[in-house]
Structures are given as structure tokens and as C-alpha cells.
Amino acid sequence: MALEALIFDFDGTLLDTETPEYAHFLELYREYGLTLRLEDWQSAVGTWDAFDVWEPFRHLGASELERLQARHQSTLMAHLADLDLRPGVRTVLEQAKAKGLKLAIASSSSQEWVGGFLERHGLMDTFDALATRWEVEKVKPNPALYLLALEKLGLKPENALALEDSLNGFKAAVGAGLLCVVTPHAVTASLPFPASAPRLETLEGGLTVLEGIYTDFYSRE
């Protein structure tokens, strides 16, 4: 058994877009005297349509809702423009490429969203395959995105390692037959990941740590 590829989730895993977006929505809810529960937000991390964050504002009417959404998008994107990769991510990517491992992204976000950030961070040519929202009928927690990434890489699940920040993503990766390392952040740290799931707070340990997790897992099989 040999590790031949790493398959990354995007939002929250490569870049922590989740924490600032949740913070922006918290501020918006408070502005209108509303409460945004972390549990509700967490249910939607890594997927789509699990929670309608705009539902409490729909009574304001279409034009006001559109104004709020435009304001939110503008302020959020200004914040995300200065967002760096999560600690250790760039090192892992560089080490994996140097070692000849294949790299892929499996994301419930659109290719336009993912590609925009990859270009901004000079990573457009780093990945061998992208599997994104509109290429599958169902996104995470359905395993379709990971199965598509594996198909594009031409690999079996046992030859790749997935990295995820959310429970929806973890379920998708495991459902595709992959070993999945959880790398949570402030928004997802309290999610009920299985106790047996390999967990890293950051990737600052580099590729060696991931290879160790992979080797240890398959040596017990």
C-alpha cells in the first residue's frame, strides 16, 4: 500500500474562509437583534442548502434582502482578500509535489470560487484535479465529489488521503472509501467527529506527519 495523492477540501481546510464568514453573519444578525446559533451554522459547513442563513431576513422584502446580501458579499470578500493559507498548508503542498504525490481538491463550492483563490495564491498549477459543486448531482456529505476526484486522478481510495475541516466533508471522504484527516478550526472544532478520526490542529508538522498517519492506519488493516 502506498500513498500517491492528497485530496483537500477547500473552504476551511486550505483557507479558513468559514470563520470570517460566520463572524460576518454574527454581526449582521446582531444588527437586527437576531441570534445565529453555531450549531445551525455548523450544519451547513461543507455542503449546501442544509441551513438557510437568510431566512430571518426574507420578510424584509426582495429589494432589502438583495441589498443586505450585496453588502455582506462586499465586506466578506474584502476581508477574504487578505486571507492566507492555513498554517502548514503551503509547506505540505510543496513537499508533496517534490515527492511526486498527486494533489486534488474536492469542494462543494463552485470552480469559479475555488479557482479565484487558487490564482490569488499562485496555486492554479499546483493541483492535478479539481472536483467542484456543479460537476456532481449531490455535494457533501454525499461521496460523489471525492469519487470524482479519485476518478480524475486515476487512483483507488486506499492510495489517497483526504483532509477535511467539517463533519459533512468527513462523511463524504469516508463514504468514498478514503482515510480522512480532520483539521478543524474555530467554527468546526466542536463538531462530533468520531474519536477514531485522525485529527491535526494544523499542518505545520508537514507531509511527514500525514504519511505517518497513513502508514499507521494501513499497517493495522
Indicate the residue type of 3.
L
How do the residues of the chain divide into helix, strand and coil, expressed in percent and rounded to 5? Answer: 45, 10, 40
Catalytic annotation, pick one of 11, 82, 125, 216: 11
CA nearest to 36, candidates 23, 19, 49? 23
Q: Is 40 a catalytic residue?
A: no
In whole angstroms, what is the distance from residue 45 CA to residue 56 CA?
19
Q: Is 11 a catalytic residue?
A: yes
Q: Does a cis peptide bond (omega within 30 degrees of 0) precede residue 141?
A: yes
**DSSP output for 142-208:** STHHHHHHHHHHT--GGGEEEEESSHHHHHHHHHTT-EEEE---TTTTTS---TTS-B-S-STT-HH
In whole angstroms, what is the distance from residue 19 CA to residue 186 CA?
7
Sort 177 into a burial class: Cβ within 10 Å, 0-12 / 13-18 / 19+. middle
Residues labelled catalytic? 9, 11
